[in-house]
Structure formats: structure tokens, C-alpha cells
Amino acid sequence: MSVSLNILFDLSTNSFSYPFTKQHFILYKKVTSQYNDPDVLQYVNLLVPERIRKNIKTQLKTEDIFEVVNFNNYGYGDFHSTNNLDIRNDSTDKEGDEVCNVKHDSSSTSFSPSFLDSLKELMVWFKKDFMRWVDKNPSCDNCGRQLTLEYIPGNTWKIRGIENYYCSFCNAVFSFPRYGKIKEIADNRMGKCSEWTFLFGAILNSFSIKTRIVHDFLDHCWNESFIGGRWVHIDSTLAFPISFDHPSYYEKNWNKKYIFVLAFSESNLEDVTISYTMEWNQVLNRRSKLKQTQLEKFKKFYQQISLK
């Protein structure tokens, strides 16, 4: 028995323990199915500037792309924490490079410097030039005052809802549709972490870099790409290099208290929590309050979702 993709995004239909909803699972199944759609992949690939496309394709043809080098010596490991900084709102120095004061994730491994250069170029373009970040409490572009939100819920994965923002002072209106279709996200060029993750995952897949979606079921999602024989953390909402292979960043700097961190591809759902925590015993303690069959229920439901 398959589950219809037209299920309403209504929590009354959910039988999982909050915050795990069937609607999330249906959404991720359908989004990751687009990662195997040649038409979608060609569409998003052509959005990338030609120079960046050529650089990445050149690196992917290089035999020593994953040659082991010292990551710290390459200049991406010398971070010293002075506070817990959310670098989605990153600052820049006078040359325009991101300044990162974060707790260093010592799990970062080594990759080819030329590959890292190409990946950095892609991520900086995506974050700074292509996408627009939508704040939780956005201000008016015209007068700078706080906007009032009117939320219209959607009824399918294709459009989860519409966030309409109004300025009571200058009457400006800002509309933000929560799309699930990657082409529409690409055309809209704005979003929160889910839209950024969905689209950037498609872009990486368009270069034949196998990429999936990861969700912590707290308040954030990101990507993982299969590079050098393992799944590597990639978060397009963060400033490079923290956006690449720093899986402990959220727990260290955002004080995350995980129960499940799940990775989604079209055909599979995987529990990857252990890759993102240094407090595994605390995670197990939180899980002990749930039914032992919870993960099995997630996987069974995910396999039942129809893509028709």
C-alpha cells in the first residue's frame, strides 16, 4: 500500500511523535526524486556561471581530486572561538572574505586544494550572488520596520504554504511561497534553510556529486554529499569553510539537543545522528523517552511513499 503525495499538510493526519511529521517525509521523498530528473538537473546546472561550471567539471575529471592534504595548512582550520556566532549573518573583512569566529570542528578532513577552491567558488556564488535569505522576522525593504505575517497553508508538497508579509507603515507587501518543486525555488531565488538545501542539493547532483538532504527535526536542514568515499556535511546557508565538513558545528555553536538527525535520498532514509553529535549518550537518553520502534516506523513509512 502506497501513501498518496497529495496528502494534506495537516498535523491531524500525523501519527508520529512531534516534531516528526509524515508531511516532512513525503516532502523529502519528492524533492530527492527530482535529484534524479535529467530535466531538473540540466535546468539548475545552467544557472551556475559558466566559469564556475567549467572549474568544477575540470576538477571532477582530475584523478587526484581527493588527494590527502593537510586541511589546516590550506588555511581553513585556524579558527578560535570567542562566542557562538550564527554565520548565516556573516560579516566580511575589507577584501570581502568571510570572517568566522566559531568553535573549530576538529573532525574536518583533507581534500584536494583545487577541489576546495572550486567548491568554495560555487558556495560563495550561491550564498552571496544567487539566493536571498528570508529571515524569521523580516523587516520592510522600503522603511526598515517590522513586517506583519499572514500565513496561508498549502495542501501538497508542491507548495507547503505562502508567507505574506505586510508593512503597516508604508503598505509594502512581500510574498514568500514555500515551494517544493526545485525549478520554482530556482526561479524564486529566495528561501529559508529548506529552499536553500533543496536547490543546492540539486545543483551538486547536476555535477554528478551524489547529494542528499539532512534534517535535524529541530529547526534546520542541510545537505550531505558523497565525496572521497564518505558522506560529507555541506550547508549552503553558512559561510565557507564552516559550510563544508563541519558536522559538529550546530551542536557546539547552536546548542543543538538532537534526538534524530535523518538523511533522505529518493530510495532511502538513514539515521546519521552519530555523525553530528559528540554527546551520544545524551542523545540516547532523549530517545529513551520515545517508543523503541520509532526509527523503524520512519523507514517503513518512507518506503511506502509513492512517487506517482
pLDDT in tens, 207-240: 999 999 999 999 999 999 999 889 999 999 999 9
pLDDT for 203 beyond 60 = yes
Report helix angle 22-33 to 193-206, nearest 10: 30
Helix (H, G, I), strand (E, B) or coil at 52: helix
The mean pLDDT of 82-93, rounded to a whole number, is 37
pLDDT digits (tens, 9 = 90+) for 40-66: 999 999 999 999 999 999 988 874 444
pLDDT, the chain, mean: 82
Q: Is 193 a catalytic residue?
A: yes
Classify residue 152 as left (phi > 0), alpha (psi -120 to 50) or beta: beta
Task: State the catalytic residue, choosing from 104, 215, 220, 246.
Answer: 220
122 and 231 Cβ atoms separated by less than 8 Å? no
193, 215, 216, 233: which one is catalytic? 193
Catalytic residue among 216, 235, 245, 246: 235
Residue with cell 572550486: 118
Does residue 300 sit in helix, strand or coil? helix
Task: Determine the pLDDT at residue 155.
Answer: 84
**10: pLDDT strictly greater than 50:** no
Total residue count of the chain as it appears in this document: 308
pLDDT confidence tier of residue 187, bands split at 50, 70 and 90: very high
Amino acid at 71: F
Q: Which three cell numbers stand for residue 45?
A: 546546472
The question of whether 233 is a catalytic residue gets the answer no
Query: Which pLDDT score is estimated for 115?
Result: 86
Q: Which residue has the higher pLDDT, 141 or 44?
A: 44
Residue 3 backbone phi and psi in degrees, to 5: -105, 130
Q: Is the pLDDT of residue 295 over 70?
A: yes
Domains in the chain, CATH or no CATH each: 11-133+183-304 (3.10.620.30)
- Asked whether 274 and 224 are in contact (CB, 8 A), the reply is no
| Between 209 and 21, the higher pLDDT residue | 209
Beta bridge partners of 164: 150, 175
The alpha carbon of 69 is separated from its chain's Cα centroid by a whole number of angstroms, namely 27
* 143 has catalytic annotation: no
Tell me what the mean pLDDT of segment 105-125 comes to. Answer: 78
